Chains A and B, each alone.
Chain A
């Protein structure tokens, strides 16, 4: 499937692209647009104003995606949802000290990447690592050494 979002991705869009790619649509193809009017007709838009897969009821787009893709049963993804929420919105809904660091890292990666595809290649690895770390922590009850 084709997915479209705003160009110059930041934490919420990077997290959503990772979630789509790893948990929902392994064949996902991403398009980045400057203008909402440029979203291709065959693409599903996300993290843009006025589309279903976006911020709703105080949730960030990643949290909306967990609901839409029926992925709320995975506690590691739920925890990543809290981190992305705080990195994106910083409204203190959740206690997620990792959020501040993730925000800075992804901003830095997007500054040093030439294209959004290049940024996403790096952030996919970042979220793979974050997921693995949280997953193991949940299994063992303590942070992996």
Chain B
């Protein structure tokens, strides 16, 4: 997912939804979180720009309009490097924490029976796919999480001695 990591361009969604009903608000927020957006302010979120992130935010903008809200999509770049670094850091930390949670859970299940290990590993792999899709800056923690889940899925005899 790192092909956008060094570009300066960001795609931003500015939106406002009526307070009631609350369901569209939480649906939209859940979708934005899944995309891994940086929240820049109340009703202002950003993602590193590429064709995919731009389209994703455009569809969410449409959804906001359908729920009688206001939404505009912008392309832009942070004017100062420190702000840009801070946003990147915040996004990276959020993704790193998600990878670490997977690593912790995989490690905790190491001594379960074979069927449980495989089931947990399958679920964690799906989780890793979801995290990877919002890992815009090549998190260092990805590798450890992948290894922990592979190790969990491997037969006991193939397991690396630790």
The stretch among A18-26, A55-63, A70-78, A119-127 that forms the contact with chain B is A55-63
B12-38 contact mask (Cβ, 8 Å, vs A): 1 or 0: 000000000000000100010010000
- Stretch of B55-63, B83-91, B137-145 with 4 or more beta carbons under 8 angstroms from chain A: B55-63
Count of chain A residues near B, Cβ 8 A = 12
The dominant DSSP class at the B interface is helix
Residues of A within 8 A of B27 (CB): 58
- Highest count of chain B CB atoms <10 Å: which of A54, A57, A58: A58
Q: State which residues 35-84 of B face A: CB under 8 Å.
A: 51, 58-59, 61-63, 66
Question: Is A43 interfacial (CB-CB < 8 Å)?
Answer: no
Q: Considering only CB atoms and an 8 Å cut-off, how many residues of chain B contact the other chain? A: 13
The one of A49, A58, A89, A100 that contacts B129, using a Cβ cutoff of 8 Å: A100
Residues of B with C-beta under 8 A to A55:
59, 62-63
- Cβ contact within 8 Å between B58 and A49: yes
Interface residues of A (CB under 8 A from B): 8, 49-50, 54-58, 89-91, 100
Binding site for A on B (CB under 8 A): 27, 31, 34, 51, 58-59, 61-63, 66, 129-130, 133
